[in-house]
Structure 1
Amino acid sequence: MLRRLILAAVSGIALWAAFPTINWWWLAPLGVAGLALATRGTRARGGVLTGFLTGLTFFVPGLAWSGTYVGHVPWFALAITESLYLAAMGGLLAWLQGPPAAARVRPLIVAVVWVVQEWLRGTVPFGGFPWLQLAWSQADSPLLPITRYAGSTGLTFAVALLGGLLAAVVHDRRTPGMALAAAGAAVALGLAPLALSVPLDGRPMQVMGIQGNVPTAGLEFNAQRRAVLDNHVRLTEKVAAEIADGQRRQPDLVVWPENSSDIDPLRNADAATEIVRAVNAIKAPTIIGAVLQQPSPKLSNASLLYLPEQGLTQTYVKRHPVPFAEYIPYRSFFRFFSTQVDLVRADFAAGDQVGLFQVPTARGTVRVTPIICFEVAYDDLVRSGVDAGAQLIAVQTNNATFGYSAESAQQLAISRVRAVEFGRSVIHVSTVGISALITPDGTAHQSTSLFTAAVLDGTVPLRTEQTPADRLGMAPIWVAVTGTVVAAFLRLRRRRADLPGIVEDRPRTADTQSALDKLDRKT
């Protein structure tokens, strides 16, 4: 058992290292392979233990940014909660791969169960937390083109299947034929994406992102919200002067990040004046990230579209506020565990409308879907904007509360995968970085440094197609769920056949029934 636990712990570390900022993406299938081997040949309760240990060594370092300024309790609470999903998956893998005496690595089962685990983790409770999914580790991987055809779910499936095949090679090494077949399948899966194309053509659009920076990293940036607004106003006006001098091209669209105006411009005339002045100076439609003091007593995390000489014209309110960050569910209950919940003084309300801004340009109207911060990790939120007709995705985020951690790089990787999945360019803009312009092949251009003022300025292609992945929608998840259910059904059917010498239709003597009862308890 000790060897299993060591393998499980190493597997979790490998999974963590596959993600930014280490970004050794090739470790992701190796981490899956390690857990597949650690759960093979053990009982379900052993699988639960190994899965939980893998989760801890994966999520504790992988989510360390969540405790940057709020302490260890929220960080470990989140990491342990996420680890419970891997514990359940480990137990299920141990059971589905067969009883200890006849267990085998089953790559397809490993892949479908992993997909189901990630789906559940990204759904419940409180809407789930789909961070650190296998797909998000593959932004620099040759497997990335799979995303265009099978979505982020399909990419996760491919990584997990590759891991399962590698585990099968190790397990079947004494059976050369089976090991060779698994190795051949792994090589074919690794090479197949080279034959997949990711188109990049489309009408060019000149876009600009303003990373204004904040005076102070951490939670206290909110106490200096006027300074944050001023930073974005000043940088925008500076760029406007450079455009007037011919140093830069006139943009068709400008995007400010989330929280660029935490002073509600609908209720504060001074803030509104500053924003309007900057928009008029740059002479381009501008999307502003703002906090609105509505609906009272709650707040709204919003994207606001301002047009030159017209002011505010369209509004989008974030549809998935982050639990324990933007609102506290069951506040009195969770206060019992940590008074940190009261750092969120007012809860944010959830919007109920898909964001789709109609942006006027010299070459016609461009449809842009605003995505606020963690919303980029939720399949349905991004898909709904694209399906509504968006030609461009604008991801507005604020990473000031996570310091110099890996969170910014992890989030940018998600946006890169989304660009390929939906065949859209993405303008990913943060208050403090990392910001970038992302083309539909997932390439990040002009990536900025953390905690610096910077400007994204470039041309991206606009596309209107519906990718195969978008047409599939939730289908890959339902296929994985169905596959898991079928595997469980077949495993139940085989339970009695797993005991040598017992035939189900033979009359059961007392000794036979006793043997079957013992088998049930073991498996």
Structure 2
Amino acid sequence: MTSKGRDEHLPWWLLAPIAGIGGLAASAAFMPFNAWPLAFVAVAVLAWATSRAASVAAAAAVGWSFGLLFMFTSLIWQTSIMIASYAGLSVLMSLFYAALGAVLHLTGGLRLAPLWGAGAWTLVEFTTSVFPFDGFAWMRLGYTQLDSWLAGFYPLAGAASVTFLVALLGHLLAHLATRRTPRAAVALAAATALTLGVGLAGRVWLPAASDTPETVSVGWVQPGAPGGGVYGLGEPRTIAFNSQAETGRLAERVRAGSEPAPDFIVWPENGTDMDPRQDAPTAAAVEAAVADAGVPVVVGTIWTDDAREERQTVAVLYDGNGSELAYAKRNLVPFGEWIPFRDFFLPLIPQLAYVGYQSVPGTLPGSFPLTTNDGRRLQVGVAICYEVVYPDTVFDAAREGQVMVVQSSNAMYQDTIQIDQQFAATRVRAAEMRREVLVVTTTGLSGLVGQRGEVLDLVPDSVSASGVHAMPLRDTATPAMVASRWVEYLLAAQGLVGVVLGAVALRNRRRGGTMDVGSDTSEPVRS
């Protein structure tokens, strides 16, 4: 490398604050701020900063700065639970961006560096979706583009492909800002035009249906809870009594003719906070609500096994003839619903006792049969809360279900941005599947999401509410439902290839006597 190239490197401590600004921009791209163009800016800032770093280690420090600001601002809702968990989760997740910074520096000197950089982003997000403890894929770049032209890629290839495209355009933007050549401008313009054409077409695309779909009337109940912190559901049985009362108000409006009669009603996750099989007042509240409604009710509740000190978060179908397990939640929140290595962590951090009994995941897809009062049989797909960031879980339910509902309990995060982030992820899942999704929560946000991820109805948080929506019965599958996981595998594999090529290039430069690991040209940025 020429001396000019070395002179263009900057010390990591100067680059770190700049990268931190990029992390803040990334956070602002997510809901509730929805400044989605800043996702491209955030990627570009990190690409530029890592390319100016003098070494892989320096680039890792720069990436860590990006990740720290990104995570500490985006995950601030964790303070509702515990300051220590907020700090621990934020630091842990920021380390993945330290790794990303190192990888971007490695690949920045390769030909077609923006493609390798986009693959690196996808690789890191894929890794966070599976590791550690089954992953935490909460802050995917792909969740920021609901209102951009890139939303057209959701049903075609899934959210991971949107992450890749955001990162690609961001790297091309950094490439142009650094090199300022006609070729760089043409590359950015061509990529933008191509994604714009496909994306706009994808936004209007809907899967072909054989005829006008039959509809079903689905009632929903948002019971309301005190909210805030670990004990956001309030005193024992408060949420069950609130669910019963709001169901009664809905039934009164139906009898008065001010609300259409539902075919069935959905309560949220934790519609009761105690096991109706073991707690008589809870069972009485549920049974009274079902009798008052006069239709089947899907109750979000918990089942406990005191002898084994275990529990399951479940959806239970109640009708006039009794109850039947509909679905047991498969994707559980680590340190929220279960404690990994419990015998080690619980004595070390006694505050984790708030988790209570160890949750046990279900194993079957979230789909169950339901017979309406007029004799129609239909399949209902259900996902529970945190599961909306696991596309395979949601797709499994939708493939078998004709109508899709999401039950959630956000009471502990009331009045925080967590609620908006989760609702946005649900909107992405709806856009990927081209299915309407009914979201039913304890305290908000409840609402109806349309086929393209648009919000058709929204109930604010911190209130009790209920209603009825007519939902089409659908059985179509999108390309994303069929192949998006394989698309993510391929994009992540491409990122891994970039890591290998970058590492080989670094080794070759060192063998050639060039210790600087930047680009091997006088222009150190190619991403």
TM-score by length of 1: 0.90
Q: 2:132 aligns with which of 117, 125, 143?
A: 125
Distance 2:172 2:28 in 1: 20
Runs of 5+ in structure 2 lacking a partner? 1-10, 519-527
Could you tell me whether the CA contact under 8 Å between 2:268 and 2:407 is conserved in 1? yes
The code of the aligned residue for 1:431 comes to T
> Does residue 354 of the first structure (1) align with residue 365 of the second (2)?
yes
Distance 1:177 1:329 in 2: 51
> Does residue 68 of the first structure (1) align with residue 69 of the second (2)?
no
> Is the deviation greater in 329-338 or in 53-62?
329-338
The code of the aligned residue for 1:365 comes to R
> Does residue 396 of the first structure (1) align with residue 407 of the second (2)?
yes
Could you tell me whether the CA contact under 8 Å between 1:150 and 1:469 is conserved in 2? yes
Query: What displacement does 1:193 show?
Result: 1.1
> Does residue 375 of the first structure (1) align with residue 387 of the second (2)?
yes
Sort the Cα spacing of 1:401 and 1:495 in 2 relative to 1 into closer, same or farther, 3 A: closer
Q: 2:498 aligns with which of 474, 487, 490?
A: 487
> Does residue 519 of the first structure (1) align with residue 525 of the second (2)?
no
Q: 2:92 aligns with which of 60, 77, 81?
A: 81
Sort the Cα spacing of 1:186 and 1:262 in 2 relative to 1 into closer, same or farther, 3 A: same
Distance 1:430 1:496 in 2: 53
Sort the Cα spacing of 1:400 and 1:109 in 2 relative to 1 into closer, same or farther, 3 A: same
Could you tell me whether the CA contact under 8 Å between 2:226 and 2:233 is conserved in 1? no
How many residues in Structure 1 have an aligned counterpart in Structure 2? 499
Sort the Cα spacing of 1:264 and 1:240 in 2 relative to 1 into closer, same or farther, 3 A: same
Distance 2:390 2:90 in 1: 19
User: Who is 2:282 aligned against?
Assistant: 271
Q: Secondary structure at the match of 2:65?
A: helix
The code of the aligned residue for 1:256 comes to W
The code of the aligned residue for 2:257 comes to G
> Does residue 326 of the first structure (1) align with residue 332 of the second (2)?
no
Distance 2:40 2:150 in 1: 11
Runs of 5+ in structure 1 lacking a partner? 499-514
User: Who is 1:305 aligned against?
Assistant: 317
> Does residue 150 of the first structure (1) align with residue 157 of the second (2)?
yes
> Is the deviation greater in 222-231 or in 485-494?
485-494
The code of the aligned residue for 1:114 comes to W
Could you tell me whether the CA contact under 8 Å between 2:120 and 2:496 is conserved in 1? no
Q: Secondary structure at the match of 2:316?
A: strand
Distance 2:213 2:159 in 1: 23
Sort the Cα spacing of 1:438 and 1:245 in 2 relative to 1 into closer, same or farther, 3 A: same
User: Who is 2:192 aligned against?
Assistant: 186
Could you tell me whether the CA contact under 8 Å between 1:170 and 1:179 is conserved in 2? no
User: Who is 2:147 aligned against?
Assistant: 140
Query: What displacement does 1:335 show?
Result: 4.4
Distance 1:194 1:106 in 2: 27
Sort the Cα spacing of 1:456 and 1:377 in 2 relative to 1 into closer, same or farther, 3 A: farther
Alignment of 1:332-343 (within 5 A): 332-335=343-346, 338-343=349-354
Sort the Cα spacing of 1:119 and 1:415 in 2 relative to 1 into closer, same or farther, 3 A: same
Distance 1:276 1:400 in 2: 24
Could you tell me whether the CA contact under 8 Å between 1:172 and 1:179 is conserved in 2? no
Sort the Cα spacing of 1:299 and 1:202 in 2 relative to 1 into closer, same or farther, 3 A: same
Query: What displacement does 1:313 show?
Result: 2.6
> Is the deviation greater in 145-154 or in 456-465?
456-465
Q: 1:452 aligns with which of 460, 463, 472?
A: 463
User: Who is 1:508 aligned against?
Assistant: none
Distance 1:110 1:363 in 2: 55
The code of the aligned residue for 1:171 comes to T
> Does residue 407 of the first structure (1) align with residue 418 of the second (2)?
yes
- Higher RCO structure (Cα 8 Å, ≥6 apart): 2
User: Who is 1:293 aligned against?
Assistant: 304
Q: 2:102 aligns with which of 66, 87, 91?
A: 91
The code of the aligned residue for 1:180 comes to V
Distance 1:25 1:522 in 2: 33
Q: 1:176 aligns with which of 153, 172, 182?
A: 182
> Is the deviation greater in 23-32 or in 332-341?
332-341
The code of the aligned residue for 1:287 comes to V
Distance 1:456 1:49 in 2: 51
Query: What displacement does 1:6 show?
Result: 2.8
Q: 1:438 aligns with which of 443, 449, 456?
A: 449
User: Who is 1:11 aligned against?
Assistant: 22
Could you tell me whether the CA contact under 8 Å between 2:219 and 2:469 is conserved in 1? yes
> Does residue 385 of the first structure (1) align with residue 397 of the second (2)?
yes
Q: Secondary structure at the match of 1:50?
A: helix
- Among all aligned residue pairs of Structure 1 and Structure 2, give the percentage whose two residues are the same amino acid: 30
Distance 2:498 2:226 in 1: 55
Distance 2:286 2:257 in 1: 23
Distance 2:81 2:508 in 1: 55
The code of the aligned residue for 2:176 comes to V
Could you tell me whether the CA contact under 8 Å between 1:147 and 1:417 is conserved in 2? yes
Query: What displacement does 1:105 show?
Result: 7.7
> Does residue 106 of the first structure (1) align with residue 117 of the second (2)?
no
Q: Secondary structure at the match of 1:446?
A: strand
Distance 1:223 1:451 in 2: 13
Distance 1:269 1:107 in 2: 61
User: Who is 2:261 aligned against?
Assistant: 250
Distance 1:481 1:407 in 2: 27
Distance 1:76 1:183 in 2: 40
Distance 1:253 1:40 in 2: 57
Could you tell me whether the CA contact under 8 Å between 1:391 and 1:424 is conserved in 2? no
Could you tell me whether the CA contact under 8 Å between 2:326 and 2:367 is conserved in 1? no
Q: Secondary structure at the match of 1:170?
A: helix
Query: What displacement does 1:385 show?
Result: 1.7
User: Who is 2:525 aligned against?
Assistant: none
The code of the aligned residue for 2:514 comes to L
Distance 1:151 1:219 in 2: 33
Query: What displacement does 1:7 show?
Result: 2.3
Sort the Cα spacing of 1:213 and 1:371 in 2 relative to 1 into closer, same or farther, 3 A: same
Distance 1:145 1:160 in 2: 16
Alignment of 1:191-206 (within 5 A): 191-196=197-202, 197-199=204-206, 202-206=213-217
Distance 1:437 1:311 in 2: 29
